[in-house]
Structure 1
Amino acid sequence: MYRNEKGCGQAIYNCALDRSQIFFTTKIPPEAMGYERTRRAIAKSLREGGQEYFDLILIHAPYGGKEARLGSWRALVEAQQAGKVRSIGVSNYGIHHLEELQAYIDAGGGGKIDVGQYELHPWLARREIVAWLRAHHVVVEAYSPLAHGTRMNESVLKQLGAKFDKSPAQIMIRWSLQMGFVPLPKSVTPSRIGENKEVFDFELSVEDMQRLDTGDYAPTDWDPTVDYD
């Protein structure tokens, strides 16, 4: 969907790092839901990326209905058993989608939800979904942890940034880490990429974290968790 598997694969091939030092994730796009389509999508992604395996494959969104969702999961489990992917998971699943999948797994469908990936930031904490994931020992990944840059002028971020001599982006990444998430900040600017790493030399207090508990539910993009049966 992002049209970058080939470029990422070429970068891995060209770099000096061993493949085991790189974590390569891809997704099953919405148009590839269902067992056969997902099998073909996995094979295509491996070809495009020039990879023998992916570290993680996620179902991008809970589209297509129950049969398609569970068929896609079955294809992921088979790919994992065949060594084509090491971990499998979902993205943008609502609790009803997660429970549907977990019931299928518990009934013998196979696999385990290793990762749940969601838009997560102080203005979209998704506490119920996060609680479900943690109860089932699922790693929580946060995409758009910077809310697409739409919250950088919030007073609470500026005040905490002044307290710690950090940028609003660094405060948001630190919040994500202290929430126990794996934040995935995106940037093409080298200075910002460097800045995003400088978040391990300070810690938000309990009071700071409470100030960032906004109680808002404000997605910056789509929200399939509530839009699809």
Structure 2
Amino acid sequence: MQIPAFGLGTFRLQGQQVIDSVRTGLELGYRHIDTAQIYGNEADVGQAIAESAVPRSELFVTTKIWIDHLNHDALIPSLRESLDKLRLEQLDLTLIHWPAPNDAIPVAEYMAALLEAKQQGLTRAIGISNFTNAQAQQAIDAVGAAEIATHQVEIHPFLQNRKVVAFAEQQGIHLTAYMPLAYGKVMSEPLLQRIAAAHDVSPAQVALAWLLQRGIAVIPSSTKGANLASNLAAQALRLSPEDMAAIATLERGERLANPDFAPHWD
């Protein structure tokens, strides 16, 4: 199973806002929709999908298990609830959203439960998100690297997460970048502006193309149709080796997603 390289993120979008974003995205050609239990918008995402003319077979839908549901006996019931909200019989991809705070629940416990969910047909594929390399290794030990369809982590020009990226690539695990536009901060970065001007594109398209050319999937979000369309057009942009090398110099460890329960990052 191949994860679409370009998806639509729904973090922080609620109610009619997320319905409109997903509806517009589907009309523009997005086919990968990413949500999560904690976003509180699965039902709205499900409504937008149900009301669209896009056949289910053409869609790729991802959700993520919240930390409150990591116990073995809680995970599968929580996923069934997500399916009900999304009006789906099966997810395409289900991720562990965050590892258990302070590793209070063993990685092996919730990865085993997630694999059971796959074996029961609740999801076509499983994966992880926001894991350290040590936790990712524990997940590999629990279910095997081949079962981990992706590791979804924060990656953008200002946080390139090189240790996590290198480990995933060594293990043959696909990567998905969330917050690839750093909440829009890429738009004001002079280097990205110069590269964008040279290609007659936007800095956002440059940031997305930088990830796509490295084989990393992206899930940017927007409430504006023009931005949704512009982001999608990044797939046609090819950056030069010089462009790629220049963007690599922007690393500054600027992590945007860092809640108090986050693991001790690599």
**TM norm. shorter chain > 0.5:** yes
| Equivalent pair of 1:35/1:68 in contact (CA under 8 Å) | no
Shift of 1:104: 2.3
Superposition pairs of residues 80-99 of structure 1, within 5 angstroms: 80-99=118-137
DSSP-derived class of the 2:60 partner: coil
Assess if the C-alpha contact under 8 Å between 1:33 and 1:68 holds in 2: no
1:60 aligns with 2:97: yes
Structure 1 residues 10 and 131 mapped into 2: Cα distance closer, same or farther (>3 Å)?
Answer: same
What is the aligned partner in structure 1 of residue 18 from structure 2?
none
Residue 178 of structure 2 corresponds to which residue in structure 1? 143
1:226 aligned partner? 264
Aligned position for 2:190: 155
Q: Could you give the per-residue CA deviations for residues 17-39 of structure 1, whole angstroms, max 9, x where no partner exists?
A: 11111111111012212211212
Q: 238, 243, 246: which is aligned to 1:203?
A: 238
Which range moved further: 50-59 or 133-142? 133-142
2:84 is matched with: 47
* Count of aligned pairs: 225
Question: 2:56 corresponds to which residue?
Answer: 19
Q: Tell me, which stretches of 5 or more residues in structure 2 are unaligned?
A: 1-37
Give 2:202's aligned residue.
Answer: 167
The residue type equivalent to 1:27 in the other structure is K
**What's the secondary structure of 2:175's corresponding residue?**
strand
Residue 135 to residue 193, structure 1, CA distance change in 2 (3 Å): same
Residues 79-98 of structure 1: CA deviation (Å, up to 9, x unaligned):
10111100100000010101
| AA aligned opposite 1:218 | E
SS at match of 2:235: coil
Tell me if 1:102 matches 2:145: no
C-alpha distance in structure 2 between counterparts of 1:208 and 1:31, whole Å: 42
Change over 3 Å in CA distance of 1:27–1:209 after alignment to 2: same
CA contact (8 A) 1:133 1:140 kept: yes
Whole-angstrom CA distance in 2 between matches of 1:149 and 1:66: 35
The alpha-carbon deviation at position 67 of structure 1 amounts to: 3.5
Q: Structure 1 residue 77 and structure 2 residue 115: aligned?
A: yes
Q: Distance in 2 between matches of 1:105 and 1:6?
A: 30
Find the aligned partners of 2:156 and 2:140 in 1 and give their Cα distance.
26
Over aligned residues, Cα RMSD in angstroms?
A: 1.9
CA separation of 1:200 and 1:100: change in aligned 2, threshold 3 A: closer
Task: Say whether the 8 Å CA contact 1:34–1:68 is kept in structure 2.
Answer: no
Q: CA offsets per residue over residues 173-202 of structure 1, 9 Å max, x none?
A: 111111211011100100000111112333
* Cα drift, residue 14 of structure 1: 1.7
CA contact (8 A) 1:33 1:69 kept: no
Contact 1:39–1:75 (8 Å) recurs in 2 = yes
Q: 1:11-60, CA deviations, whole angstroms, 9 ceiling, x for partnerless residues?
A: 22222111111111111012212211212211211121121100000000
Q: Aligned partners of 2:141, 2:236: CA distance in 1, in Å?
A: 42
| 1:151, distance to aligned residue in structure 2 (A) | 3.2
Unaligned runs of 5+ in 1: none
Query: Kindly tell me: are residues 68 and 50 of structure 1, through their superposed partners in 2, closer, same or farther at Cα, counting changes over 3 Å?
Result: farther
Larger RCO (CA under 8 A, 6+ residues apart): 2
Displacement of 1:111 after TM fit?
7.1
Q: Secondary structure at the match of 1:118?
A: strand
Report the residue type matching 2:257 in the other structure.
Answer: D
TM-score, normalised with respect to structure 1? 0.92
C-alpha distance in 2, partners of 1:97/1:12?
34
Instruction: Give the Cα separation in 2 of the matches to 1:176 and 1:220.
Output: 17
Cα distance change of structure 1 residues 227 and 157 upon mapping to structure 2, 3 Å threshold: closer
